[in-house]
Structure 1
């Protein structure tokens, strides 16, 4: 990342007003959103939205033409173009033809996308944003930091300062007073405006209608008071049937602001009358700007299912730390990264895409069923294809792709790291590596890796078999976790197999866009793990489990390695995470735990891949309780710990405050012990507590369960 971008990250992280405002909203949002969706089948609702929006995206040209015919039959003028410059020229021409001197606007991200305000001002036309947040941003000379709440990053004190300069009067931060000032300033602008410009939340082809959703009523004034109304609508807002309006209106306020409904829903079907009885001059601009091209791309077509609710921003652990002025361009956050890559250019997303930690929070709450992390990985892949890997990446992945060299270097690191090792931790590293131990200690490489210990373990022979895929951390840093897993399998009468040819799962390469390297890792592991007959392939690392069960096949497909797809699918069918398998064995009566002893309180941290991709969250909790622990749930138990694989090394300044928040939430439970199913999370949280000095033990679930076996 460039120094300027790194500097912008650090400025945001050190802005207490910004992080405070975003943090408070994010906390309240999660609670209020859950209440807003109480009694609603969210999965069914978003399934309807995704299906309707996907159908429209598959037939954009036809749907746009039907909309044009129906809207024009009602008296509207519809103009469709793919060129943002033509959009601005069309609006300026309408303004020139009608002697427009002043414009009022309701909130429109499409107008931000093409920098419409600047074009109008350059033509000598005054422009007033009328959405309260947008007006604040306009007065401050900023751009929106959020698609729904553009001024969410500002405190009321900062808003009071901005308003004071506008009205040339010292104002305090009393919110009702500030709202009254805004109303007094904006009302004359509505009455004097020659043209109103709006966006649209939905455009219905069947009826030629546009639908606007607001809380302030400014859009209704913008579209009714001026004699000319121009609606700037991205073609992704098109739906085929009017019935689709209902599920979108059900989801949009709940997902955007955690409201049951918004204050105003305006459905405009044809021109409305002016005061003198004439019909309003209604212009609807259907703007493409590569949206049709996006609809034809199988990797990104789903992005057109977005209803612009901003819920992905509201739950993002990165956005709430740095805000939209860092994490985004015009559109912000994860979805903003994707839209930037398409509506602007791929290179403009190069830095911001690296901010995504791949936690998957956004996928859980998206009412359009977008897989934002998956699309960001595709952006990374295309950036690598376009620019190539960095020299550092090439060097690292050339080592990872050579298993013997990679494992040899890890063994050497066990010796080389001793000068920096104290106990089981590396607490300080020299020079340019010092950031890696800022806020957390690193685990020392084990003197004896799991692969050297495994042959010494006595096991039952002749029965059921399971291949153990250890992953790099368990193999070389936490062999005790591997020993515990084998103990659990053996107690159930299952022999563990450990093919020594197994190597890195490829996740580091995949998450850095190096799909060719990841495909090489996939082939190596498929060969190793399927070389022996076994019922299961079990892993105690969710990231590795996701790689084996989900990513291998997709990566090989993308890389044209179709000859390995059947084997990848065979491996996926056998792959299971530790907690799911152990719970199954307990239910079958093959495993049981000691009873009667009260082991005290424990809390549990949900690893991102385990909960969101593998859909496993209750299984480890139930097992730990069966083993005799009293579970005390922590606040935000499923929020990322900041590890994110190599993320914590590339962006330690962001990883550290996320970890700090996680440590605080663990301590607040009062539990002296925290369990988790991911060795990466163990590394992050255990290392954090080591530097924090708090006596909280951090254990992998496998170890705790193995200790309680009957």
Structure 2
């Protein structure tokens, strides 16, 4: 029986072992990673990684040819493969030519990407994963749930059960004993293998060298003991010089496993003798598989700056809840969604891209400075263009794009909601609207919107003026928030105006791939807000502020609307979130507590968009 995507989500959420394993890891990771970077300038490190990888992405062909020349001069054979079929055909032909019956592998996401094991096993060749996590999931016939820790979704009890069922009965859930057991079982595989297959973390064009960064030592055995070594390397692993290895070595262990350095850093350059003195075969396959196409795409080229540290998974709140077997295909999480769309095909990312909640946590920790949230939004846009949007969704966004109709319907809804509203929230909507409140409560619509109550606020005449951008929530659900903003700014000597032409910020449309609707919203708001000639445009909604400061520009860029970008930049320069503006006014002495007035103690929750996108972490405090 086929499990639907929604059913797989529910199964993951109901799995206490998964929740416990990923939850414990996520909490511990944040603390240990911070310690690993103590005394280092992470921003400088990631700048260096970005520069090295961005250069590589822009010069793939040049670096691949330079690597081939240097590696072959050192005795290796380098094969340029355009797609998975060519990689598999080359390795199979090599195996048959050399009478290979047994292969040992070290961890390699590139070989997972092309499903190499299944292909070789179908030809009667035994293939053994030797990374502990990879061996565990091989025994389970699973794919990796994490790019660095493939079996992180499993508890020690589950691993003991797998070993007892698949290898030898009687294994206990004791981690040191399980590791010792695995080591003993795998040792003979290394000695008997005819071929070793590895990946590589870095390929250096200047020297023709491969760099492998590992912890278990199995990669050294895989690459040295068998008489043939095959390395399958995605061309995005290429860097220009050996000096370029340093920033990646600084970032990869710290971001992946919170280590200062991994247990083993191996550099392989050219051919070496076998134990019997015969020359060892070294075959390096530089695999493209649409990486060149990605490099030619100005929007997605930055995804090739990924160093496969998986830190984006480690901080992702969705991955923490459902794991990589739900949030991903071969590659997992946010970056995995992007790689799936390119290395496989766009439609394969359709379900998983919807799991990204645009919190920005991945962008904050990515050592390659990849804007993963923005790239996922671009995937949504392209998916919407390719397959179209559902009829109901199209109808909703058509309404949102018509300000007068949209606002009229919201006013009508404030009356129609009464049977379903209680305590400021709407629950249990009927008929085709039931999905909206199936698992959440929606904010009730206020009896009178802020645009009406604003007209009744008596303000002092001030030279300095600010336009308030209310957004849908403050305007139609929480008008009291808007009124509070006005009072505070009045105390600082700022008069507030409410441009009547303002409408939805377009975030809902943009986050669903409906960029044309978002662009229409953006143009309406820019016109309304710039007409006022104010010093500031202030918003108390972080998501709306992000829209005004960043999303309008990004939407126009994606749609090629160059003529609209100038005004969008003007609006962005005037726009401030409310907390940042208040902090500025306090620092200027224009707002202060009255003598003897005590500040209340409150619990404050950082908004994702305020903290991570707008970087306004200290201002609210």
Task: Give the TM-score range, shorter chain.
Answer: over 0.9
Aligned position for 2:249: 249
Number of aligned residue pairs: give it.
620
1:208-245, Cα deviation, whole Å (9 max, x unpaired): 00001111000000000000000000001000010111
Distance (whole Å) between structure 1 residues aligned to residue 287 and residue 593 of structure 2: 63
Distance (whole Å) between structure 2 residues aligned to residue 481 and residue 256 of structure 1: 42
Structure 1 416/439 Cα, relative in aligned 2: closer, same or farther at 3 Å? same
Q: Shift of residue 368 of structure 1?
A: 0.8
Distance (whole Å) between structure 1 residues aligned to residue 457 and residue 378 of structure 2: 42
Distance (whole Å) between structure 1 residues aligned to residue 40 and residue 46 of structure 2: 11
1:180-220, Cα deviation, whole Å (9 max, x unpaired): 11111100000000000000000000010000111100000
Distance (whole Å) between structure 2 residues aligned to residue 595 and residue 609 of structure 1: 34
Say if 2:467 and 2:496, in contact at 8 Å, map to a contact too.
Answer: yes
Q: Shift of residue 525 of structure 1?
A: 0.7
Q: Shift of residue 599 of structure 1?
A: 4.7
Aligned position for 2:325: 325
Distance (whole Å) between structure 2 residues aligned to residue 599 and residue 47 of structure 1: 40
Structure 1 153/432 Cα, relative in aligned 2: closer, same or farther at 3 Å? farther
Q: In the TM superposition, what are the counterparts of 1:465-480 in structure 2 within 5 Å?
A: 465-480=465-480
SS of aligned partner of 1:127: strand
Q: Shift of residue 601 of structure 1?
A: 2.7
Distance (whole Å) between structure 2 residues aligned to residue 605 and residue 594 of structure 1: 26
Distance (whole Å) between structure 2 residues aligned to residue 236 and residue 58 of structure 1: 10
SS of aligned partner of 1:369: coil
Q: Does 1:135 align with 2:142?
A: no
Taking structure 2 as the reference length, what is the TM-score of the superposition?
Answer: 0.98
Structure 1 595/207 Cα, relative in aligned 2: closer, same or farther at 3 Å? farther
Aligned position for 2:57: 57
Q: Does 1:367 align with 2:333?
A: no
Q: In the TM superposition, what are the counterparts of 1:427-466 in structure 2 within 5 Å?
A: 427-430=427-430, 433=433, 436-437=436-437, 441-466=441-466
Structure 1 473/266 Cα, relative in aligned 2: closer, same or farther at 3 Å? same
Distance (whole Å) between structure 2 residues aligned to residue 435 and residue 385 of structure 1: 25
Distance (whole Å) between structure 2 residues aligned to residue 425 and residue 555 of structure 1: 32
Identify which range, 514-523 or 423-432, moves more after superposition. Answer: 423-432
Q: Shift of residue 392 of structure 1?
A: 1.6
Q: Shift of residue 598 of structure 1?
A: 3.9
Say if 2:204 and 2:239, in contact at 8 Å, map to a contact too.
Answer: yes
Q: Shift of residue 250 of structure 1?
A: 1.0
Aligned position for 1:44: 44
Aligned position for 2:503: 503
Aligned position for 2:163: 163
Aligned position for 2:237: 237
Distance (whole Å) between structure 1 residues aligned to residue 225 and residue 470 of structure 2: 67
Q: Shift of residue 172 of structure 1?
A: 1.2
Structure 1 334/233 Cα, relative in aligned 2: closer, same or farther at 3 Å? same
Q: Shift of residue 431 of structure 1?
A: 5.5
Say if 2:462 and 2:494, in contact at 8 Å, map to a contact too.
Answer: no
Aligned position for 1:383: 383
Distance (whole Å) between structure 1 residues aligned to residue 483 and residue 315 of structure 2: 37
Distance (whole Å) between structure 2 residues aligned to residue 595 and residue 187 of structure 1: 75
SS of aligned partner of 1:537: strand
Distance (whole Å) between structure 2 residues aligned to residue 24 and residue 206 of structure 1: 42
Q: Shift of residue 427 of structure 1?
A: 4.2
Aligned position for 1:226: 226
Q: Shift of residue 425 of structure 1?
A: 2.8
Q: Shift of residue 323 of structure 1?
A: 0.5
Distance (whole Å) between structure 2 residues aligned to residue 88 and residue 442 of structure 1: 52
Aligned position for 2:611: 611
- RMSD over aligned CA atoms reads 1.3
Q: In the TM superposition, what are the counterparts of 1:276-675 in structure 2 within 5 Å?
A: 276-430=276-430, 433=433, 436-437=436-437, 441-621=441-621
Distance (whole Å) between structure 2 residues aligned to residue 541 and residue 29 of structure 1: 30
Aligned position for 2:263: 263
SS of aligned partner of 1:99: coil
1:447-485, Cα deviation, whole Å (9 max, x unpaired): 111000111111122511111100000000000100010
Distance (whole Å) between structure 2 residues aligned to residue 423 and residue 329 of structure 1: 42
1:657-696, Cα deviation, whole Å (9 max, x unpaired): xxxxxxxxxxxxxxxxxxxxxxxxxxxxxxxxxxxxxxxx
Distance (whole Å) between structure 2 residues aligned to residue 390 and residue 3 of structure 1: 23
Distance (whole Å) between structure 1 residues aligned to residue 564 and residue 179 of structure 2: 63
Identify which range, 329-338 or 167-176, moves more after superposition. Answer: 167-176
Aligned position for 1:186: 186
SS of aligned partner of 1:188: helix
Q: Does 1:88 align with 2:88?
A: yes
Taking structure 1 as the reference length, what is the TM-score of the superposition?
Answer: 0.86
1:21-53, Cα deviation, whole Å (9 max, x unpaired): 111100100110001111110000010010011
Distance (whole Å) between structure 1 residues aligned to residue 517 and residue 433 of structure 2: 25
Q: Shift of residue 428 of structure 1?
A: 3.9
Q: Shift of residue 123 of structure 1?
A: 1.1
Distance (whole Å) between structure 2 residues aligned to residue 427 and residue 382 of structure 1: 33
Aligned position for 1:691: none
SS of aligned partner of 1:282: strand
Distance (whole Å) between structure 2 residues aligned to residue 599 and residue 489 of structure 1: 19
Aligned position for 1:684: none
Q: In the TM superposition, what are the counterparts of 1:108-119 in structure 2 within 5 Å?
A: 108-119=108-119
Aligned position for 2:199: 199
Distance (whole Å) between structure 1 residues aligned to residue 392 and residue 30 of structure 2: 39
Distance (whole Å) between structure 1 residues aligned to residue 57 and residue 344 of structure 2: 20
Aligned position for 2:75: 75
Distance (whole Å) between structure 1 residues aligned to residue 422 and residue 11 of structure 2: 34
Q: Shift of residue 596 of structure 1?
A: 3.1
